[in-house]
């Protein structure tokens, strides 16, 4: 499809396509310029225009067309003849012909920015053409000056100060060629031959819009290119990293025990132990989201960088975000599902001991590794997974007064699940060592539970009821009991601290 115009040529009305119109106008202009002004240029031109109109009319009728196209214009020009031929044959040429200076005269050169050969703003190209040296040399010089520090502001200043070579006459002056009808014709056909990609034409039309400043728009174009590159780079990095993490090639999640680092999927297993495909659902939703996001970024980046509109881009820029949103929704769903698995909790009373002494001394169970007693240790930070069991650190100790005359000690195993049954099953699986010898209560600050149960807030609670008047020592310190309930967490590498707990009614 082409844009058309309405012209009044040789007393007839024609609809003509835009490019044909350009050609025709250019031809008539050249004709006018080449005719000697001593003669009736106006009349001659009129005659020729009328003849041209006749030719058009004939061709349109012959071919049953309604619009004059480039083909008709060019055929008419062939028939009528090029301006040079006409003026020569009819002896009607301009006597003040500047073609006399076809020798290399000192035609005054003017410095312009050459946007046709430009890579950024045409400054290097323009200066190279002006000085008649290679563009590459110019660019090298500029890059060097960039590193020397003054290159960048110099470039900006030159960009603002040096005008752009817009017309063919500008371009001729830049190169020091004389500006005549012939050279202009050459210049026009030369620049028309440079096949401009859609991109150049689009940005050129955009640039030529008088409402926005040309430089601002060009600057924006460069900025957009940079953003596009940024998008592409970032998406690629994300894509590579994500792929490696997800496929388990990259194991960066620190653990201790059987391995030093776990893969992403193994980490996920802790939270979503594989029951009823909940893990797979979560896994796929993460995959979908994680791969779609960089793809979107890549396409946005390429689209901005190349500034090309294409069906592929539009479709994918609608489709991919949709997929991405689906992935997010799936993640939300699986997260909710996982959270439900934390709702119910069951505290399972595993042991109940009574002690009749006057004092109860509570101490850490000494840690034995390979039957050797470790006196002091600490620095336990990450998950410890060994032989399919996860070891955790920190036992809750609660103590309060009782009206009874003997010490009561309860070991409570606590875990969470989607319902009581699930929760209590998990709590049964917890293993914890607690021993009595005399009036000494030895409590292991570590406990473990099966990996396949997942992280479900498994905890140990030791509840000690202290008869009135009797004393309780924890790790060598006497505890204060005055009617309130106290609680604290026993770690192996910290001093035991307890706080009064609020009574909840």
Binding site for another protein (CB under 8 A): 10-12, 31, 35, 39-40, 43-44, 47-48, 50-51, 53-54, 57, 79-93, 97, 99
Residue-wise burial string across 339-361, b where 16 or more C-beta atoms lie within 10 A, e elsewhere? eebbebbbbbebeeeebeeeebb
What sign has the CA pseudo-torsion 228, 303, 18, 192? positive
Give the nearer residue to another protein in terms of CB position, either 37 or 248: 37
CB of 60 to another protein, least distance (A): 11
The Cα 35–Cα 43 span in angstroms is: 11
CB of 93 to another protein, least distance (A): 6
CB of 203 to another protein, least distance (A): 39
Give the nearer residue to another protein in terms of CB position, either 182 or 364: 182
CB of 160 to another protein, least distance (A): 42
249, 287, 297, 323, 325 from 291: Cα distances, Å = 16, 6, 10, 10, 12
CB of 94 to another protein, least distance (A): 9
Structure tokens at 469: 């008047």
Give the nearer residue to another protein in terms of CB position, either 81 or 487: 81
CA angle (317 as vertex; 311, 322 as ends), nearest 5: 130
CB of 52 to another protein, least distance (A): 9
The Cα 296–Cα 283 span in angstroms is: 20
How many other CB atoms are there within 10 angstroms of residue 440's CB atom? 15
Label the pairing between strands 67-68 and 12-17. Answer: parallel
DSSP E strand boundaries for 33-166: 67-68
Give the nearer residue to another protein in terms of CB position, either 91 or 483: 91
Give the nearer residue to another protein in terms of CB position, either 74 or 461: 74
Are 425 and 417 spatial neighbours (Cβ–Cβ below 8 Å)?
A: yes
Place of tokens 């949709």: 322
Give the nearer residue to another protein in terms of CB position, either 187 or 453: 187
Give the nearer residue to another protein in terms of CB position, either 95 or 276: 95
CB of 129 to another protein, least distance (A): 27
232, 363, 461, 468 from 405: Cα distances, Å = 75, 22, 22, 7
How many other CB atoms are there within 10 angstroms of residue 133's CB atom? 12
Structure tokens at 283: 């896994």
Q: How far is CA 9 from the centre of its chain?
A: 56
CB of 179 to another protein, least distance (A): 16
CB of 46 to another protein, least distance (A): 9
Can you give the C-alpha Rg of the chain in angstroms? 44
Give the nearer residue to another protein in terms of CB position, either 61 or 381: 61
Structure tokens at 379: 């620095």
Give the nearer residue to another protein in terms of CB position, either 53 or 172: 53
Structure tokens at 228: 């596009």
CB of 123 to another protein, least distance (A): 37
Give the nearer residue to another protein in terms of CB position, either 54 or 347: 54
The Cα 185–Cα 143 span in angstroms is: 36
């Amino acid at each position: 499809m082409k844009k058309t115009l309405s012209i009044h040529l040789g007393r007839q009305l024609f609809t003509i396509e835009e490019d044909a119109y350009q050609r025709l106008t250019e031809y008539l202009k050249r004709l006018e310029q080449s005719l000697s002004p001593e003669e009736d240029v106006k009349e001659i031109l009129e005659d020729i225009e009328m003849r041209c109109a006749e030719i058009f009319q004939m061709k349109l009728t012959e071919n049953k067309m309604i619009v004059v196209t480039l083909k008709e214009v060019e055929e008419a020009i062939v028939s009528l003849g090029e301006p040079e031929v006409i003026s020569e044959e009819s002896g009607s040429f301009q006597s003040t012909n500047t073609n006399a200076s076809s020798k290399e005269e000192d035609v005054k050169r003017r410095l312009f920015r050459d946007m046709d050969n430009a890579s950024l703003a045409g400054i290097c190209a323009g200066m190279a053409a002006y000085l008649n040296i290679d563009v590459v040399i110019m660019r090298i010089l500029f890059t060097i000056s960039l590193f020397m520090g003054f290159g960048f502001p110099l470039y900006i200043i030159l960009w603002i100060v040096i005008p752009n070579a817009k017309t063919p006459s500008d371009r001729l002056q830049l190169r020091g060629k004389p500006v005549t009808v012939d050279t202009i014709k050459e210049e026009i056909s030369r620049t028309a031959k440079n096949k401009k990609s859609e991109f150049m034409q689009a940005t050129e039309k955009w640039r030529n819009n008088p409402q926005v400043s040309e430089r601002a728009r060009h600057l924006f174009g460069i900025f957009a290119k940079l953003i596009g590159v940024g998008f592409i780079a970032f998406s690629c990095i994300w894509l590579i990293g994500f792929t490696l993490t997800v496929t388990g090639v990259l194991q960066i999640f620190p653990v201790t025990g059987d391995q030093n680092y776990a893969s992403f999927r193994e980490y996920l297993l802790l939270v979503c132990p594989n029951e009823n495909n909940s893990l797979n659902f979560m896994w796929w939703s993460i995959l979908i989201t994680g791969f779609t996001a960089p793809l979107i970024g890549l396409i946005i980046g390429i689209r901005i960088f190349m500034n090309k509109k294409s069906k592929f881009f539009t479709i994918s820029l609608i489709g991919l975000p949709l997929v991405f949103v689906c992935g997010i929704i799936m993640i939300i769903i699986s997260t909710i599902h996982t959270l439900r698995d934390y709702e119910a909790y069951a505290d399972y009373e595993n042991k109940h001991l009574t002690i009749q002494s006057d004092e109860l001394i509570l101490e850490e169970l000494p840690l034995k590794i390979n039957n050797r007693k470790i006196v002091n240790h600490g620095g336990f930070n990450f998950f410890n997974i060994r032989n399919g069991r996860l070891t955790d650190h920190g036992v809750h100790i609660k103590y309060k007064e009782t009206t009874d005359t003997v010490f009561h000690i309860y070991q409570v195993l606590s875990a969470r699940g989607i319902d009581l049954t699930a929760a209590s099953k998990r709590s049964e699986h917890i293993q914890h060592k607690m021993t009595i010898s005399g009036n000494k209560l030895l409590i292991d600050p570590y406990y473990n539970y099966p990996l396949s149960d997942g992280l479900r807030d498994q905890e140990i609670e030791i509840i000690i009821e202290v008869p009135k008047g009797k004393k309780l020592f924890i790790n060598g310190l006497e505890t204060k009991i005055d009617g309130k309930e106290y609680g604290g967490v026993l770690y192996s590498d910290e001093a035991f601290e307890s706080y009064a707990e609020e009574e909840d009614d």
